[in-house]
Structure 1
């Protein structure tokens, strides 16, 4: 009766927080998925509850592969996000300092971030993920899904979702190691181990990154004290397949970091100080998948955990403030696959899912003493996808959130459509949806000398849509895409005096994204992106840290030297003018809006594999020596150079 969808065997990958995205629940299953990604790069993990080929996706999504990360020699994930259309990155200084990412003009905490199916937004940091500590340790791919996604993922997904997936091992036993030295006394080392078989896989990666850095407070303002950074990141993945239709998986990650920070002074803003912070981030997930009815029915269970703890210390080493955010999520998902060949040659997928999520915030300071608050959310979601004649692809999803009586329960939805004209290689795509961002625990209950929480806050509400056309030329050697997007956000939560309130009116955001990918010559690839964004609050004032113009160009060339592979990669990133708000808690009258200038970053990387499995590489960053600010008062590194050696043993 059921016609099993063969592609589904490599597509039921993970069970996500917020909407219970189907997660690959064993290393064998994930290994299958990664093989599919390598052989079918169009397969996208995060655009739906179950992965699907890119031609079927109505939403806008960008995929960055492990190969691209290696070619660009990216060490901090936020650096490569600057190449993604619709994404703005703001870092308050050099590597390790506070780093925010905004999608399509929305706020940083309106973007959901996931790592291996674990939601990592910090409940104790305005439900936002700080990208400062996220190194490229064992990352296989990054997917950036743009537009409202709450119907799939729940709160925090008004702007979109960034899904980060780590590597699984090759068959056999492998060892990889890397060592790097560079400007600002930077030292970076990484070791990875992996073993893969049909029944059992395990992979582990450890990276240590140390730099003396620069002054976080801009040196042009007379600040000279360097702010160093130390990060140790470890990841482990284990998968077991005890029987043919049962898959089990465990994922763990820990980030231990120390950061020198700068302070602020009346009117002047950022200035040198001897303040520091110490952070410990821990993430974990266990999951299991049972496939029934010859693969036509999948049952998925998962439990995930995140803990993000930071101590802030003064010049004497005394702790002045402690903050810790935790979340625990339990989820169940059921996926049904069937086809009706005689009716529109249709293939159908139906998903039903439920989850329970508890978020907790702990703070301790001399002002308020220790304080713990928490919130529990129950989410119920369903999604239906259908493929008609292998040309028309439709999906619809609805989610209901029970918010534990703190504020109104919410219903969100999303619809997508894509149509492929086979004869002309033209693909039309579009999506629409309603999304929400729940008030954060700090906004509800926070307490500082100048702030008191507001337990009467309501969720922020967003409605957005996009529509675009993708056109392929020359047998897919040139692909162009242009997309218009439009977002409306109500109940925006902002500070008002000594508390937070839902502001009246509607924030309006719209813009255009343009991408182009081409392979004009053998072994040469060019990728270009441009985004225009107009983001205004309900009073028509430009929203801060949202540049109207963002563009990037990445060129890569593979070639041989003495019959050994070599590679050169050039990336150019343009960030247009943007506004910023200068807050001054000591002198509120001095709070003002300023304009930050545009800048262009040019990076060049090269590598040469001089022996089997042994590679030497070099790169230069900010080759134009641009002096710029992403955040007012905080400087940025000038021209810098790095070199290293990478060796791989195996597989054996």
Structure 2
């Protein structure tokens, strides 16, 4: 399998980094209904749910915050500059995903800034893959999901299109939701190369019970995401790959969904645009493989809260507001990244070194250098050792810089986060199994977090002096035919404690995480249920830090996060092109929170049918 852990794709077995792959089969057999729930089963990945079924979920990797992970769709950077809360707002249903690549650790010299603690690359089905998928699911709390996808060819043009929708009344008050996705991927082939087009649209509307503050639980959010990219994939020896991309995100946030007090100034409206041009080049010779890339990225926001005041307000479109709201603030920044890397293999030893040169209108220094080195040694045919040292950075989000609300105050003077990460580990590959182990440390300076001091009632966005995260991870997977057993463990420790202040994100990482997965084939002597399978995932999480606990909108004190076990399961049976299934999330009905004061749902049972032909 080819993965994107370097500037050019390489075989998974040849990587010099820790990369975990989630395959189409694993996705199809899991009880997950959304991307975030799939990622939650990956080692060292911390998914902190606010809403259910992907309405809003924060992605963290190796103790990083939700703003420190880069998200790509088929290699195109779709990370949201307003806030990492929106990074997983992607217009792709699970039925269209071929695989997910999770790169653990910094990747600035590969993907540019903001790949601070790791990166996730979602790879969709190949255009023209002649498959039609239909899916229908129903469940508790009036849950419903319907989706369809198809691949087809017309001469030199290959296409893939998917459409899906999902809704529920919610598991407690003000947790209802509805969402829809439309995604199109096309590829036109010529002798010289292929032109790759992808476009998508997503809309979400959901009750946001206590999402951002427990003082006002009747919150509501409505987001719209549009995305378009065009990329040239050349054939032959000249591997020059240019791409252009654009993403627009609308966010309407209501602190009060229904009746609002007199002091309430109105809803928040944000429109964020990203436009980018990227060019990658690679050349192979007897001296190794040299690759380089340039990325020009412009980020812009219109808002009535974030940014600097406009000289004259601009109306919010009536379809988004309906009440004469205006954009009164704006902000923009442009960044240019130049990335270069050279890889050489001598016998059983592989070395890769490179750097990111980064310039931004947000920075005082004209150009900043972020180098890195990876090494690997194939000790035997089955055993591989690797080590990496990389320097990385993350720019503050627009929310970090400018957000001001009843409980929060941004800081326009924030500096970028920077870190040096060190890692070493072993990978062992057998015929039917593989195992790996790694130790790592991320030494961060100017780390950004929302903090609250004992004598204050407001959360402030600040640069913390230093936060060092040290970790250990190990995994073992056995796979034979349709039977799979996987055990994964992660341990994290942060060197900065929150004794003098309460941390909202940076220090509330997972300390321990265990993921156990079992997948088995099933055979029954029944005409329609003769062949099938069973898959279950068991997770244990123990999180550091605590949160401000509220009862009936009244503060009762600081409460530590409680560890918990949780299990998901799915059983399915195939009959020709059709599959019937039943699944349950939180099978044991565990009571837990990922974000303080946002209780997660208990057992949620669903069932449905899929047709593939």
TM > 0.5: yes
Change in Cα spacing, 1:237 to 1:522, as seen in structure 2 (3 Å) is closer
Residue number in structure 2 paired with 1:626? 590
- Of the two structures, which has the highest relative contact order with CA contacts closer than 8 Å and spacing of 6 or more? 1
**CA distances 1:102-148 after superposition (whole Å, capped 9, x unpaired):** 11111110111111223222212258625698752411111110111
Instruction: Tell me the SS of whatever aligns to 1:544.
Output: coil
Instruction: Give yes or no for contact 2:351–2:373 (8 Å, CA) kept in 1.
Output: yes
| Superposition pairs of residues 359-370 of structure 1, within 5 angstroms | 359-364=299-304, 370=328
* Matches of 2:581 and 2:232, distance apart in 1: 40
Q: Which residue, out of 615, 640, 643, partners 2:579?
A: 615
The answer on 1:185 being equivalent to 2:167 is no
| Superposition pairs of residues 26-175 of structure 1, within 5 angstroms | 41=1, 43-44=2-3, 46-125=4-83, 129-130=87-88, 135-169=93-127, 171=129, 173-175=130-132
Residue number in structure 2 paired with 1:524? 483
Instruction: Give yes or no for contact 1:264–1:271 (8 Å, CA) kept in 2.
Output: no
Instruction: Tell me the SS of whatever aligns to 1:503.
Output: strand
Residue number in structure 2 paired with 1:444? 401
Instruction: Tell me the SS of whatever aligns to 2:611.
Output: strand
Instruction: Tell me the SS of whatever aligns to 1:491.
Output: strand
| Superposition pairs of residues 579-618 of structure 1, within 5 angstroms | 579-582=545-548, 593-610=558-575, 612-618=576-582
Change in Cα spacing, 1:448 to 1:370, as seen in structure 2 (3 Å) is farther
Instruction: Tell me the SS of whatever aligns to 2:401.
Output: helix
Residue number in structure 1 paired with 2:317? none
Residue number in structure 1 paired with 2:455? none
* Matches of 2:175 and 2:440, distance apart in 1: 39
Instruction: Tell me the SS of whatever aligns to 1:444.
Output: helix
Residue number in structure 2 paired with 1:288? 232
The answer on 1:494 being equivalent to 2:449 is yes
Instruction: Tell me the SS of whatever aligns to 2:13.
Output: helix
| Distance apart, 1:437 and its partner CA | 0.6
Instruction: Tell me the SS of whatever aligns to 1:168.
Output: coil
Change in Cα spacing, 1:334 to 1:191, as seen in structure 2 (3 Å) is same
Residue number in structure 2 paired with 1:575? 541
Change in Cα spacing, 1:317 to 1:351, as seen in structure 2 (3 Å) is farther
* Matches of 2:27 and 2:304, distance apart in 1: 39
| Distance apart, 1:258 and its partner CA | 0.8
Q: Which residue, out of 174, 189, 195, partners 2:152?
A: 195
Change in Cα spacing, 1:212 to 1:152, as seen in structure 2 (3 Å) is same
Aligned residues: 573
- Mind listing any 5+ residue stretches in structure 1 that lack a counterpart? 1-40, 216-224, 341-347
**CA distances 1:496-526 after superposition (whole Å, capped 9, x unpaired):** 778544332x21111110100113x653111
| Structure with greater proportional helix content | 1
Residue number in structure 1 paired with 2:263? none
**CA distances 1:245-266 after superposition (whole Å, capped 9, x unpaired):** 2210110111111101224899
Q: Which residue, out of 535, 538, 552, partners 2:515?
A: 552
Q: Which residue, out of 257, 262, 270, partners 2:204?
A: 257
The answer on 1:309 being equivalent to 2:235 is no
Change in Cα spacing, 1:580 to 1:122, as seen in structure 2 (3 Å) is farther
Change in Cα spacing, 1:636 to 1:514, as seen in structure 2 (3 Å) is same
Instruction: Give yes or no for contact 1:103–1:146 (8 Å, CA) kept in 2.
Output: yes
Instruction: Tell me the SS of whatever aligns to 2:441.
Output: strand
Residue number in structure 1 paired with 2:605? 641
- Mind listing any 5+ residue stretches in structure 2 that lack a counterpart? 261-265, 310-326, 452-457
| Superposition pairs of residues 297-376 of structure 1, within 5 angstroms | 297-313=238-254, 314-316=256-258, 320-339=267-286, 348-364=288-304, 370-376=328-334
Residue number in structure 1 paired with 2:464? 503
Instruction: Give yes or no for contact 2:36–2:88 (8 Å, CA) kept in 1.
Output: no
* Matches of 1:130 and 1:350, distance apart in 2: 32
Change in Cα spacing, 1:103 to 1:126, as seen in structure 2 (3 Å) is closer
* Matches of 2:512 and 2:580, distance apart in 1: 36
Instruction: Give yes or no for contact 1:211–1:229 (8 Å, CA) kept in 2.
Output: yes
The answer on 1:479 being equivalent to 2:443 is no
State the Cα RMSD in Å.
2.9
* Matches of 1:126 and 1:569, distance apart in 2: 31
